[in-house]
Structure 1
Amino acid sequence: MSMDGRTCLVTGSSKGIGRGIAEDLGSRGANVVVNYRSSEAAAHEVKDTIEDSGGNAITVQADVANMGEVQSMYETVTDTYGNIDVLVNNAGITVDKKFENMTREDWDRVMEVNLGGVFNCTKTCFEDIREAHEGRLINISSVVGQQGNYGQANYATTKSGLFGFTRTIALELARDGSTANCVAPGFVKTDMLADVPDRVKEGILERIPLDRFAEVEDIVSMVTFVAQEQSSYMTGQVLGINGGMEW
Structure 2
Amino acid sequence: MSTEIKPLQGKVALVTGGSRGIGAGITRKLAAWGATVCVNYVDRAKPARELAAELADQGSKVTLHQADLADPEAIEGLIREIGEQHGDLHVLVANAAATKFTRLEDATLGQWQFVQDTNARSTWLLAKHAVPLMRDRPGARFITITNSTTTRIVPGAGLFGAAKAALESLTEYLSYELAPYGIVANCVRPGLVQTGVFKVRPDLNRGVAHEQSVTPWAGDRMTTPENSADVVAMLCLDEAAWIAGQTITVDGGYRLWGHSLGDHQSL
TM-score, normalization: structure 1? 0.92
Deviation track 1:88-107 (CA, whole Å, cap 9, x = no partner) reads: 00000121112222222221
- Partners in 2 of 1:200 and 1:85 — Cα distance? 36
2:77 aligns with 72
Could you say which residue in structure 2 is the equivalent of 1:225?
234
Corresponding residue for 1:39?
A: 44
- Segments of structure 2 that go 5 or more residues without pairing to the other structure are 1-5, 257-267
Query: For residues 170 and 200 of structure 1, what CA distance do their matches in structure 2 show?
Result: 32
Cα distance in 2, alignment partners of residues 130 and 190 from structure 1: 34
The question of whether the paired residues in 2 share the 8 Å contact of 1:99 and 1:153 is answered with yes
Asked whether the 8 Å contact 1:140–1:182 carries over to 2, the reply is yes
Q: CA deviation at 1:6?
A: 0.6
User: Structure 1 residues 87-96 or 201-210, which shifts more?
Assistant: 201-210
Residue 168 of structure 1 corresponds to 173
Report how many residues are paired: 247
Aligned partner of 1:184 among 183, 189, 194: 189
Between the aligned partners of 1:227 and 1:137, the Cα distance in structure 2 is 9
> Distance in 1 between the 2:238 and 2:75 partners?
27
| Cα deviation, residue 189, structure 1 | 2.0
Moved more, 100-109 or 219-228: 100-109
- 1:142 touches 1:186 (CA, 8 Å); kept in 2? yes
Aligned to 2:209: 202
Query: In 1, distance between residues paired with 2:52 and 2:151?
Result: 33
Q: Please say if residues 209 and 244 of structure 1, whose CA atoms lie closer than 8 Å, have aligned partners that are also in contact.
A: no
Corresponding residue for residue 54 of structure 1: 59
8 Å Cα contact 1:90-1:140 kept in structure 2:
yes
Question: How many Å separate the matches in 1 of 2:208 and 2:228?
Answer: 19
Query: Secondary structure of the residue that 2:19 maps to in structure 1?
Result: coil
Q: CA deviation at 1:130?
A: 2.6
Name the residue aligned to 1:240: 249
SS of structure 2 residue aligned to 1:202: helix
Aligned to 1:83: 88
Question: How much does 1:74 deviate?
Answer: 1.7
C-alpha contact (below 8 Å) 1:7/1:30 kept by paired residues: yes
Change (3 A) 1:44 1:153: same
**Aligned equivalents of 1:207, 1:168: Cα separation in 2:** 36
State how far apart, in whole Å, the 2-side matches of 1:209 and 1:151 are.
Answer: 29
Q: Percent identity?
A: 28
Residues 15-39 of structure 1, C-alpha deviations (whole Å, 9 max, x = no match):
0010111121112211110100001
Q: C-alpha distance in 2, partners of 1:230/1:189?
A: 31
Contact 1:62/1:73, CA 8 A, preserved across alignment: yes
1:36-58 deviation digits (Å, cap 9, x = unpaired): 00011111111112211211111
Secondary structure at 1:147 match in 2: coil
Alignment gaps of 5+ in structure 1:
none
Give distance in 1, aligned partners of 2:173 and 2:196: 32
